[in-house]
Amino acid sequence: MTVRMTELPQQEKQWALYSHLSPLVSSFVGPLVIWQMKRGEMPFAGNEAKEALNFQLSIFLYALLSALLVVVLVGVFMLAAIYVFNIAMILMAAAKANQGVAYRYPLTIRFVK
């Protein structure tokens, strides 16, 4: 489900974009900081940061479980698949946020409501 926000200011779209791209350098810390800073003044950017935060926490959990499975060798392939999936979803979400479209990551556990 995508919701288009046509009247969004460019600055709010940029903050949403940053919230999706920041995990490339900071895992879940970037989205957490942006969500804390912008959730009150920029609803779209705050919601996108929360979505990115939930996704990164889910990815961390999936990677941790996969790391435990490295002992039986299947974990190596799962870690590689999770890495590729994470990068692809980050780039897709960033593109949507730049257009002002709300994005919901697949396979995400909603830790932060």
Per-residue pLDDT tens, the chain, 113 aa: give them.
455 545 899 999 999 999 999 999 998 999 999 999 999 999 999 999 999 999 999 999 999 999 999 988 888 999 999 999 999 999 999 999 999 999 999 999 999 99
The pTM for the full model equals 0.90
CB 23 within 8 A of CB 30: yes
Beta partners for residue 73, in sequence order = none
**Please, what is the Cα angle at 49 between 97 and 3, to 5 degrees?**
40
Backbone angles phi, psi at 3, to 5 degrees: -120, 125
Distances (CA, A) of 84 to 70, 74, 75, 80: 17, 16, 14, 6
